[in-house]
Chain A
Amino acid sequence: MEFKLPDYNLWLMLPELFLFVWALLVFTFDLVTKRKKESAVGYSALLGLLLTGLILALVWTGVLVPGKANGYGSGFGNMFYNDAMALFFKIIFLGAAFMAIGSSFGITRQKIVNHRGEFYGLILLSTVGMMFLSSSNELLSLYIGLELTTIPLFVLAAFFKDNKLSVEAGMKYFVIGAFSSALLLYGLSFLYGLSGTTEIVQMKINLGLVHATIRDIGVILIMGVVMMVAGIGFKLALPPFHQWAPDVYEGSPTPIAAFLSVGSKAAGLVAFAKIFVNGLIVFYDPLQAPNDWGTLVGVIAVLAMVIGNVVAIRQSNIKRMLAYSSIAQAGYIMIGMVSLNEHGLASVGYYIFAYMFANMGAFAAVAIFEDKTGSCQIESYRGLAKSSPFLSVTLAVFLLSLAGIPPLAGFLAKYKVFAAAISMATADADYSWLYWLVGVGLLTAVFSLFYYANVIKQMFFSTEDSPYKIKFALPSLVVLLMGLVGVFWFGIFPEPVLDLASDISAAFGFLPR
């Protein structure tokens, strides 16, 4: 019997491989320099991300792929698959990692004396995991990508070894993360059992066939769906699986909390889109009840928006507030996710893109403030606008973008998500429940303004002067400017990003009518 090796096409995963090697180099660089080079390690990590971005661009334009015009296609025996979604989310992962590392310089200087290489290297490794995940084409590689994403994050969350809160955060995140991974894996095994394959596209076909021939796969499928929704729900911090998020965000180093809230959230979204919107699309429909997952996710989205936005109002710690805000934001994103038309996944992509700039920027500002003052209480921001006007204005802009005030990118993101849902609801009366999602989304968006504006109020409205005059390092400034430019530029001139994002929908087969 002839044994034929699968087609590896390793060129396609050049960015991932490069970043993986670079992460190891960052570890060794720190060791070789005897942990003396304070910021050089950080700069080397940033350089690695920039180079990876460059390689990604070269692969995508086909320059680095022999014999192909672009970077689309499958490799590694069909386990690795590059499509528009992979490209789009890889940009987001690299951007989020860049902004997270850029805002870590203060923390690594003050609090992490001995393990800077590990800190940066683990962020890079987690990014590699996310990038693999976004290119995965079947359930196993998807799961492995997800694990590679989260395991470094467990360590990173607990990085302040002698800080009780940080250790608690790491422990909590580890237990919850391991548990949710197990749930997800269990759910995936149901899918495998029903379809006999781990390849998502094949699974979609097989499940359709099984469903058409044996009507009664409902109970088993529903168990699988619930397990997977719970598993990914934990990763995305969607209620009722959200309780860990505020504690973990509060305890983790601030840049890691930022990276969790953007990078790891985006990774969860990719996993969700691949399994549900692609693999289980047959069972979206309410007509398939009780097998449909659309309404289930819709209910979860409503819970996320309501719980996130209402509980955030009561928070006095800004990191906890941002944690609840990110729970709510995930709810908005899920509205786009359950809108299965050409706007749906495109709006998810654009939302997370806009969210990256605003949320990473807000966390960067919080990190800068925390480095100087040691406080995360919203009250301690009182009067900051007078002593540190630039930092206050940027933080205010990020918060207003998160609240969805035009012309900032966050507004267009919400607009696109709601447009996706309304377009689906107006097209077909079966989906008029999506109107309710939009209604709840808009109402809670008004609530959300209250707590975002509360921080602005503390910074700007107070007549007394803040005792703090905040100065910050160059990388932090770069991150803030990146966020600021991103929030304005992509809010006013979003067309290139929207084009890229609409390719995601097209890659999933949702073409414009």
Chain B
Amino acid sequence: MILSSLVAVPLLGMIIVMFLPKDKFNAIRWTSLLISVVPMVVSMWITWDYFFNLSGTSALAYVEGPYDWIPSLNIQYYLGVDGISVPMLFLTGLLSTLSLLASFGINNRVKEYFAFFLLLEAGMMGVFVALDFFLFYVFWEIMLVPMYFLIGVWGGPRKEYAAIKFFLYTLFGSIFMLVAILIMYFTSEPHSLNMVILLDHGPTMSHTLQMVCFIFFFIAFAIKVPVWPFHTWLPDAHVEAPTAVSVILAGVLLKMGTYAMLRISWPMFPQALRDLSFWIAILGVIAIIYGALVSMAQKDLKKLVAYSSVSHMGYCMMALAAFSSVSAIAGCMFQMVSHGLITGALFLLVGVIYDRAHTREIAAFGGLGAKIPVYTGIMVMFSMAALGLPGMSGFVSEFMIFVGAFGALNKVLVGISVLGVVLGATYMLRMVQKIFLGEFNMAKWGGLTDINLREIISVAPLAVLTVAIGVYPKPLTELMTATLENLVSLMAR
């Protein structure tokens, strides 16, 4: 019941919010926030309980089902979590609540906004707990609808273009996943959509079918990550989306791609993975370097952060290509969590300055450090975290990835990817320098106010966690180790 509640509570919340009076803005805001606190607390309790009681084995925990849902198609209601989904649930619960808090500034069609946001949260939670392919696909797709509306109604000037591009692009990926799912279903005997059962079916399929399924799944998940060259929807969606939606997009939605690879296509098709891992590593390295270079050229602050996501998720892809190393895979999981925290915070902070200045152009600012010192402090801290400063979570994850990948992958390739760290430092530091240092334009920015308490509250947990994981990463590693070792042994089949 506990996992179902993660999905059901936001869904019920959406219905409750829909029946609130349209013009009681504060009632709607607080109701949605309180509703989203429930799954956050539940996901934290799950993390706590899993860490202390269940993380010793790779067995699925809190399993619900499998119950028959549509028996004639062998579709089941089957939920469960293990070491790779628990951190994602934690991240989803936390970022959803923080984003709702950051959405209090929305004044236009408030009721619809919060209703769609809760639907989005239900879908995200569902993806991380579903163990039946059909159920997984339903949750995966259901999120597209609220995202489409959230970008399209509350977005920036090119919102309509960005919304439909996001919708079509992701749907395009999903159809490949659907074909792969159907192929797996009909080649398994007895026909099954149960991911746990199909884990053993995958390696027994013919090599051609394995390759086909692996590639189809890869396209679907790579679009979500997004892996270069499937990344073009990301900058558009990020730039046009309202702040809170950007946070969710970067913090949770991108992780679904890498999570799904680890959960589905990597352990199910180990032979195809072996054949293709070199090419996946190349895609990862291209994403790292390309994303960093493009970030350097950006004039728009939000676009810079968006492209830095492409670069950072590239590390995840490279780590995933080094599938034989527990360290690399653990680094990938670390990077997913840490990128969710850091980039989520960066988008929140970009939103803070945009709300005040109504521009995100880096060149328009300068010398803000003296005018808004608290904001500057927080922003600089997260920029440092993003460029991988030791002591914060980004450093730990990148270090683990490099250590793991260096042993498992082509060393030249890994060597090239290390350049990404330098490039990352370049664009982050240049951004900090141009916005916060230098000459202050009194006439233009004299009226700028510092970050307020609500906004501080919404980034503070992220800051605490970034430092905590960076200084003492052991709990997170221990939480995942058993599951990851099992995964690596499955991928070595």
Contacts and interface: CB of A to CB of B under 8 A. Distances in A.
Contact of B164 (A438, A439, A453, A498): A453
B148 A453 contact: yes
B152 A461 contact: yes
A460 B149 contact: yes
B482 interface: no
A494 interface: yes
B153 A495 contact: no
B448 interface: no
Given A405-B145, A461-B163, A419 B182 contact: yes
Contact of B178 (A400, A423, A442): A442
A389 to B, nearest CB: 8
Given A400-B145, A426-B187, A442 B179 contact: yes
Interface in B155-189: 159-160, 163-164, 167-168, 171-172, 175, 178-179, 182-183, 185-187
A445 B175 contact: yes
Contacts of B134: 415
Of A442, A450, A461, A494, most buried by chain B (CB within 10 Å of CB) is A461
Contacts of A446: 168, 171-172, 175
B73 A426 contact: no
B257 to A, nearest CB: 18
B354 interface: no
B137 interface: yes
A445 B148 CA distance: 17
Interface in A457-479: 457, 460-461
Interface string B354-378: 0000000000000000000000000
A427 B172 CA distance: 26
A205 interface: no
B71 interface: yes
Given A442-B179, A461-B152, A419 B164 contact: no
B141 interface: yes
Contact of B153 (A416, A461, A502): A461
A494 B159 contact: no
Given A423-B186, A426-B183, A461-B159, A406 B141 contact: yes
Given A442-B178, A461-B159, A498 B73 contact: yes
Contact of A418 (B142, B145, B182): B182
A406 B148 contact: no
B72 interface: yes
B241 to A, nearest CB: 13
A422 interface: yes
A449 interface: yes
Interface in B374-389: none
Interface in A412-433: 412, 415-416, 418-419, 422-423, 426-427
B75 to A, nearest CB: 9
Interface in A481-498: 494-495, 498
Contacts of B187: 426
Contacts of A406: 137-138, 141-142
Nearest to A439: B179
A406 B181 CA distance: 15
B144 interface: yes
B73 A416 contact: yes
Interface string B281-294: 00000000000000
A422 B179 CA distance: 8
A53 interface: no
- Band of interface residues on A: 20 to 34
Contacts of A438: 179, 182
A498 B175 CA distance: 23
Q: Chain B contact residues: over half helix, strand or loop, or mixed?
A: helix
Contact of B182 (A422, A450, A495, A498): A422
A443 interface: yes
B443 interface: no
A17 to B, nearest CB: 34
B139 to A, nearest CB: 8
A407 interface: yes
Contacts of B159: 461
Given A406-B141, A442-B175, A442-B178, A502 B72 contact: yes
A399 to B, nearest CB: 11
B71 A453 contact: no
Contacts of B71: 495
Contacts of A407: 138, 142
Given A415-B178, A426-B186, A442-B178, A498 B72 contact: yes
A499 interface: yes
Contacts of A422: 179, 182-183, 186
B472 to A, nearest CB: 41
Interface string B183-217: 10111000000000000000000000000000000
A419 B149 CA distance: 30
A443 B185 CA distance: 21
B247 to A, nearest CB: 21
A140 B223 CA distance: 54
A449 B167 contact: yes
B145 A495 contact: no
A89 to B, nearest CB: 19
Contacts of B186: 419, 422-423, 426-427
B70 interface: yes
Contact of B160 (A418, A427, A445, A457): A457
Nearest to A343: B73
B149 A449 contact: no
A415 B141 CA distance: 13
Contacts of A411: 138, 141
Given A426-B187, A449-B168, A495 B152 contact: no
Contacts of B148: 453
A439 B137 CA distance: 18
Contacts of A412: 70
Given A405-B145, A418-B179, 19 more contacts: A386-B109, A405-B144, A407-B138, A412-B70, A426-B186, A439-B179, A442-B175, A443-B175, A445-B171, A446-B168, A449-B171, A450-B168, A453-B148, A453-B164, A457-B152, A457-B163, A461-B152, A498-B73, A502-B72
21 contacts: A405-B142, A405-B144, A406-B138, A407-B138, A407-B142, A412-B70, A415-B134, A418-B182, A419-B73, A422-B183, A422-B186, A426-B183, A438-B179, A442-B175, A446-B168, A446-B172, A446-B175, A449-B171, A498-B72, A498-B73, A499-B72
- Leading 10 A-B pairs by shortest Cβ distance: A442-B175, A406-B138, A426-B186, A422-B182, A461-B152, A498-B72, A406-B141, A423-B186, A446-B172, A407-B138
Interface of A: 386, 400, 405-407, 411-412, 415-416, 418-419, 422-423, 426-427, 438-439, 442-443, 445-446, 449-450, 453, 457, 460-461, 494-495, 498-499, 502
